[in-house]
Amino acid sequence: MGAMRERLLLFLNGCMELCWIFAWVTFLTSSAFHKPSPITQVMIPFFLAAIITFLSKGRGWRVLTVITVHIGGLLLGVLQGIHYFKFRIYPFFDLKWIKHLFESNGGFVEWISIVFILICVVAIYVMGVKLVVRKKGHINLCSRFDLGIAAFFALFLIRFMFESKGEFVVSDPGPQSMILPFFIFSLLAIPLARNRSIAERKFLTGYHLAGTVIGFSLVVLALAAGSLLLFLPFLTNAAEAGFVVLKAVSEPFGPIIVGILRFIFQPRNLRTDKNSAAGQTQTSEAPHESETQGWAELIIKFITWGIAVLLSLLVLSALAVLLWYLIRWLLSKTPVGKKIRPHSDPLLVWLYNKFNLLLKFMRSLLVSFRPYENAQQIYMFLQRWGKMSGLYRMPQETPEEYGNRLKTAIPGLEKELTEIVNAFNEEIYGKRRLDKARIARLKKAASRLRSPVFWLARTKMVLLHLK
């Protein structure tokens, strides 16, 4: 199995373990401190231990180096947990809270709580180390799945016993919210481990692409759903903080956007007549008009916030992708004993390729919006349209043969295709200049080709061409 598949299996197994570990940790912290633990407090020591173990495994590091790095990671996890539950009023990088930790006079109970945090972090860290060291076979993953089911069952049984006796009531929904992502990641990890030894897949003739696309889509959809449910508490907190920041940043632009949308969507005032009957009608319809304006303002606000949130998400996604490639470039190794050429830099090559794609897209966009002046330009549009539909024009094909092939592939456009091809032949081969009325009919035929009615047939032709 490839390295990418091994890493994916490791990630899915880690998310499986993280679900039931986080459920237990948030239950224990809610019971001990009356404050549920966020998922970041479990993720940091767990994935930090897994990453350190993964990077140091099989690299020839010294034993002292491995132990030192693990002690540093464990110490970071412990300090982060103590800071969250005991000294959250101080910034994490302000060392004053560490001084207060050793000077605190909380007594025996205070130190017991610190020892409790230490035990939890050490246990989470050890589980992160075992995640990488443990074998990832099908039987082992099934055993871990059974262990997770048993952990959830024991957790809810103990919680039900305490709540039925009235000892305490845990209001945090963290344990319940982890069940669904646990099953999703398990259903992805166990089949992946089961199929790791099978090197070849056989599909029915003509269904290889469809099977691959459907399987990949289902895996991506399940992975996205599991990740969303797993990190939902963290994403909720981030969304609340982002909403506050977005509100503060977009406040100066709010009146401008509201004014534009109000000008577009707000109903215009009707012309008033001079007779008294019209005046009475307008007076009677005034409450209804004010109610309509109230709904219009509500819709305008909703659209404004939707546009602002969408633009913010697009900007954040672009920044995240750029940051990811920048980190990959900074962490990549340079060639040893070779002269580095500028065009061999992976980040510069990636930026150059993306810039070329952007230029091609902008050029095609400008060409599509350019007004057509003759039949040749409309026929060039027809060729681009056919290319996007999966039907390339062969070098030896005449315009009429290409038009007939398009008619056969996409029914319902026979009239438009015939008109465009005949006009092209008359203008190019017949040396005739077409009048404005004929050009207008050709433009109408070209706009007919863009109709969404034919998108399904065009998509089908693209998929058949990919096969």
Residue 392 in any domain: the answer is: yes
Kindly calculate the radius of gyration of the chain based on its CA atoms and give it in whole angstroms. 32
Q: Provide the Cα torsion 26, 29, 33, 34; round to 10°.
A: 30
Closest alpha carbon to 85 in 36, 25, 24, 22: 36
Beta carbons within 8 Å of 69's beta carbon, 6+ residues apart: 52, 56
Distances (CA, A) of 265 to 290, 299, 300, 310: 15, 9, 8, 20
User: Model pTM?
Assistant: 0.46
With beta carbons less than 8 A apart as the criterion, state whether 427 and 379 touch.
Answer: no
Tokens of 137: 């076979």
Residue 111 in any domain: the answer is: yes
Residue 221 in any domain: the answer is: yes
pLDDT (0 to 100) of residue 281: 47
Side chain identity, residue 128 = G
Structure confidence by residue, pLDDT tens digits, 165-185: 765 555 566 667 778 888 888
With beta carbons less than 8 A apart as the criterion, state whether 47 and 227 touch.
Answer: no
Structure confidence by residue, pLDDT tens digits, 388-412: 888 888 888 888 888 888 888 888 8
With beta carbons less than 8 A apart as the criterion, state whether 196 and 190 touch.
Answer: no
Distance of alpha carbon 61 from its chain centroid, rounded? 36
Range of the domain at 447: 371-466
Least confident of 63-67, 98-102, 266-270, 333-337: 333-337
Residue 311 in any domain: the answer is: no
Residue 382 in any domain: the answer is: yes
Beta carbons within 8 Å of 74's beta carbon, 6+ residues apart: 45, 49, 121, 122, 125
Query: Cα–Cα distance between 146 and 330 in angstroms, integer?
Result: 41
Residue entry with tokens 């109230």: 294
Residue 267 in any domain: the answer is: no
pLDDT (0 to 100) of residue 180: 82
How many domains is the chain built from? 2
Structure confidence by residue, pLDDT tens digits, 54-81: 888 777 777 778 888 888 888 888 888 8
Residue 33 in any domain: the answer is: yes
Residue 299 in any domain: the answer is: no
23 and 172, same structural domain? yes
Query: Cα–Cα distance between 394 and 401 in angstroms, integer?
Result: 10
